Copies of this chain bind each other. A is one copy, B any other.
Amino acid sequence: MTFSIKEMAKKARIASRQVAKLTASKKVEVLNSIADNMLKQTDKILAANKEDLEAGRQADLSEAMLDRLTLSEQSIGNIANAVRQIAAQDDPVGSIRDIRRQPSGIEVGKMRIPLGVVAMIYESRPNVTIDAAALCFKAGNAVVLRGGKEALHSNLALAECIHLALKSHGVDPNAVVVVPDPDRAIMNELMTLNQDIDLIIPRGGEGLIRFVSENSRIPVIQHYKGVCHLYVDKAADEVKALSLLMNGKTQRTGVCNSLETLLVHKDIAASFLPMAAAMFAEHKVRVHACENSIAYFDGAEPATEADWDTEYLAMEIAVRVVDSYDQAIEHLEQHSSGHTEVIATQDYSRAQQFIRDVNSAVVMANASSRFSDGGELGLGAEIGISTSKLHAYGPMGAESLTTEKFIVLGDGHIRQ
């Protein structure tokens, strides 16, 4: 198949002008129609997915990769539901805020508008195709989707559900472009098309993200590692704290919102750490402990400086006893990856202070770090998680795919 990625991006730019002007209700109709099409075409999608899985097994993909690639009737239903949730959210485009009359007499406000064209570069998860298309469309953007070659058949089957919905509502199908050839050279060319693409979001391993960040001529949203912390304050409810620790560390380990470091206030260490140790033993969690906590854990290794910055993504955790709240904050200032930090405390003032003091993308009091996810935070789905503070910070939903322009209303006003 020969095609030009440059031409595709240009067509997406043209389509983006139509999408930007669609009414909120038209966008809701199209999104619900995408969800309907997915349910109607479940068999077709599963057949395409089977092709990808068979090719994947022949290519000796890892089990983890095959797992991410696999769709089922249930997962298709879940993805369709996420699309309906996105459809049901407030429309982020067109809202006007803060109109104020200035001393010159002009009225100035800000109006929320789409970014234009967003490009996604991702690996093998086919759900990203739908999530990204739905979020970009909700935000009034066109999107260029370049998924991994392992998921190509699945992605094309999902794209058909999208294109049918667009066409049946009179929307230019180039509003959602699925790149039909996931060749590396295509990706490299995509990153140079700053005339027609406004933002690139890479989703995948750190290598991919660094590669895109360093080579793209288009702004990039970066999502680096999540070294998430739970700080158990001296005023913590120990049962709740243990439950946050267990959920954060053991529910799923290969995800960026799992816990990697436990900080414990010294006044509660003697009663809390034995409970933590028993839970770790039960779940076979390997422990890297500081010198003040190592005695509580059977077979723990001494934590090195490197442990405080390690994303284990496994049944493995670093543990440190801190002398004070301030020392916990200091630890976070040095080692936080800016993703998610949690305090367990029953002390109202302390919880409030932590929420203000810690400037990670997601800061929690008495809730599991595993909630740090677009769906759980109320975004319907997420197109990515930004760990840099520019433009967006944390899980990105439709609103993160928009910007604001100034609007000025005068009646022949000129500047003196």
Q: Does A7 contact B (CB under 8 A)?
A: no
- Distance between Cα atoms of A404 and B407 in the complex (Å): 23
Query: A357 — which chain B residues lie within 8 A by C-beta?
Result: 21
A360 touches B405 (CB 8 A): yes
Instruction: Count A interface residues, CB 8 Å.
Output: 67
Q: State the number of copies, please.
A: 2
Query: A410 — which chain B residues lie within 8 A by C-beta?
Result: 364-368, 371
Report, nearest first, the 10 A-B pairs whose CB atoms are least far apart.
Answer: A367-B410, A240-B412, A247-B414, A370-B415, A364-B408, A391-B391, A389-B403, A362-B406, A368-B414, A219-B390
Q: Does A243 contact B (CB under 8 A)?
A: yes
Kindly report which residue of chain B lies nearest to residue A13, judged by CB atoms: B333
B389 touches A393 (CB 8 A): no
A363 touches B406 (CB 8 A): yes
Q: Does A356 contact B (CB under 8 A)?
A: yes
Could you say which of B102, B199, B244 contacts A377, with CB atoms under 8 Å apart? B102
- Distance between Cα atoms of A20 and B358 in the complex (Å): 10
A108 touches B377 (CB 8 A): yes
The chain A residues found within 8 Å of chain B, CB to CB, are 17, 20-21, 94, 100, 102, 104, 106, 108, 111, 113-116, 198-199, 219, 237, 239-240, 243-244, 246-247, 251, 333, 351, 355-357, 359-368, 370-372, 376-378, 388-395, 403-415
Kindly report which residue of chain B lies nearest to residue A20, judged by CB atoms: B359
- Distance between Cα atoms of A244 and B415 in the complex (Å): 9
Given contacts A244-B412, A413-B367, contact A390 B403 (CB under 8 A): yes
- Distance between Cα atoms of A111 and B359 in the complex (Å): 10
Report whether over half of chain A's contact residues are helix, strand or loop; otherwise say mixed: mixed
Query: A362 — which chain B residues lie within 8 A by C-beta?
Result: 405-408
B371 touches A408 (CB 8 A): yes
Query: A100 — which chain B residues lie within 8 A by C-beta?
Result: 378
A390 touches B198 (CB 8 A): yes
- Distance between Cα atoms of A364 and B105 in the complex (Å): 13
Known: A362-B408, A371-B415, A390-B403. 17 other contacts (CB 8 A): A17-B333, A94-B356, A102-B377, A108-B377, A114-B359, A115-B389, A115-B390, A243-B414, A244-B414, A355-B407, A363-B408, A366-B409, A368-B410, A371-B410, A372-B408, A377-B406, A391-B391
A413 touches B359 (CB 8 A): no
- Distance between Cα atoms of A378 and B377 in the complex (Å): 33
Query: A366 — which chain B residues lie within 8 A by C-beta?
Result: 409-413
Query: A106 — which chain B residues lie within 8 A by C-beta?
Result: 364, 367, 371, 376
